[in-house]
Amino acid sequence: MRVARVKGGRRMGAPNQKIPPISPLTRGGNAHGRRSGHFNHHAAPKPKVGALRRRWFWLLVQNQKSFGDLGRLLRQRTILATHPWAARKHRINQRFPRPPPRGARGQKIEVGDRSYKRGQTGYHPLMNRRPRPRRKTRSSAPPPLVEVDIHDLASDGRGVGRLPGGKALFVAGALPGDRVRVRIERQGKSFDAGVAVARLDDGPGRVPSPCAISEACGGCALIAWNPALQHAWKTERIGRALIHIARIESPPLEPLLAGEPLGYRTRADVRLRLHDGVAEVGFLASGTHRMVPLPPDGCAVLVPALNRLLDPLRELLPQLEGGIRLPKVRIESDGAGRCRAVFKTLEPLSRVDQTTLIAWGEGLNVGIALSSGEVFRPVAFADTVEGCVLSPPPGAFRQANQGLNPELVRLALDGLDLKSGDRVLEAFAGSGNLTLPLIARLARLGGGAVTAVDWVAPAVAQLAEAAQGLGEGVGLSAQPCDLEDGAAVAALWGQGPWDALLLDPPREGAKTLLTHLKDRPDRPGRVVMISCHPESMARDAAMLIEAGYRIDKVVPVDMFPMTPHVESVSVWQRVNP
């Protein structure tokens, strides 16, 4: 008997091959008697064996099909309801083994009087599988090289140039004023992207880089650019965002607030690895998973206390039984130079490794913890802001630039224009970087009330504990709240009214919170917003304008020198109806 299969208008099959006898299985079962979710979706109540055979015969007669066309009949939904397709597939696979793997392309498979070539057909002879379309092979030609002049910077720090046809080209490793030879690695409809392989002319703002691995690392994209030009570009970036996104014609921009350009970072995530038996500590190259080892003198933007930890980390890694299971460690330093290390582990540490870590921390007076929350060796760790002592737990968010953080907090609290008895709502409070100084300032003014909310419940609990006994006459309500949930935000606004609103949202902004603000007749009279992304800040600014607020001033804050990141503090007043 000839088995014929029809699919997509093509008739395929192998002659002189008989389908093995069909034995009914349980509903939704496969060849091993296990249930199959696919057949449960279509299956009717399980019929008895005799009824199953009669149903098969009736369907064949009703559809005027012959047993030779059984393959096509089996693909109908009504037949799939009861036919054990998986059992048939299993028996065919046993009788006709599948072609060899891709490595043996071109090998012939003899079935009956026909032969099939793996590289030509790509399907099993009796399973009616269409050949998969071959992937387009990449051209072996090298990527094109072009020469362009860089005239601007993108928001991620890449240089921007123009191809001869006017198409934009984003170039990693280039600065304004440079003329570079670029290897184009990505071509799109509206722009191309590439990497500078050679600098033909240096721009007027380029200066010698203080870091030996700055080009390979890419973490400090602007480290070879004059700091004064960095400040001007960051201020202009915030202004352009407010003009184009928030539709503010003349943004009230104030001079940028800056600190030390180098040696300022008090927090960093470093990578660990054993490479050919040698322990290495470094960072991931920008936009890749490739690690760039740090030089012996460390990183130019880390504080000295953290650079002193790098060599001990290199010595620690070979001592651990599971060293390869410690891919990353967060190292932190407080204002007094005390350090702690939070290790990320892929597997639970053995007791021997735990003992090794504790001994390593005791020898250096370094706190030891795991990213899972376990603390092996606690250490006194505190930051001082506005006279308040902040002690965030290991792994909690804290500003990386602790030298400029007090100025950022002062700007925000001054913008609130607090008075005795004010009720303040602080959203995205974290573990209290702004909340504790806010409570202390209200206490000095004579009292008030603060409602601090955040979606991270452990951070809120830490905040409530740290605020105990801090400000006499100031009530604190610390609440966990999902600030992306509309119902939770609506319930939060129902606890008002408040005199002032303090925001420190993440990169995504505060869309849900501000969406409900415009519908509140008792909305706060003053709003201060700290933003870590200019475009996100401009979108939130547009929502504040729609809610009836006027922007008084915007202060750019260079919390991350040598990078394209810039923060800002904006002050808003409610316009009287």
Residues marked as catalytic: 532
Of 447, 351, 400, 452, give the one whose Cα is nearest residue 567: 400
CB neighbours of residue 528 within 10 Å? 24
CB neighbours of residue 308 within 10 Å? 15
Q: Are 174 and 158 in contact (CB under 8 A)?
A: yes
Task: Please calculate the CA angle 404-238-252 and round it to the nearest 5 degrees.
Answer: 90
Of 476, 401, 400, give the one whose Cα is nearest residue 436: 476
177 dihedral zone (left: phi>0; alpha: psi -120 to 50; beta): left
Question: For residue 324, what is the DSSP state?
Answer: G
Rounded to the nearest 10 degrees, the angle between the axes of helix 405-416 and helix 435-445 is 50
Q: Give the DSSP per-residue string, 74-105.
A: HTSHHHHTT--HHHHHHHHHHHSPPPP-GGGT
Give the phi and the psi of residue 191 in degrees, each rounded to 5: -155, 160
Residues 138, 142, 145, 151, CA torsion sign: positive
Q: How distant, in Å, are the alpha carbons of 4, 149, 419, 439, 573 from that of 445? A: 90, 56, 7, 10, 21
Of 121, 89, 96, give the one whose Cα is nearest residue 17: 96
Q: State yes or no: cis peptide before 497, omega within 30 of 0.
A: yes
Q: Please name the residue ranges forming H helices in 420-570.
A: 435-445, 457-466, 486-493, 511-517, 534-546
d(CA 568, CA 550): 16
Quick one: 391 exposed, middle or buried, by C-beta within 10 A (0-12, 13-18, 19+)?
A: middle
d(CA 89, CA 83): 11
Q: Are 184 and 172 in contact (CB under 8 A)?
A: no
Q: Which two tokens stand for residue 269?
A: 């995530």
Q: Which helix (H) or strand (E) holds 121?
A: none
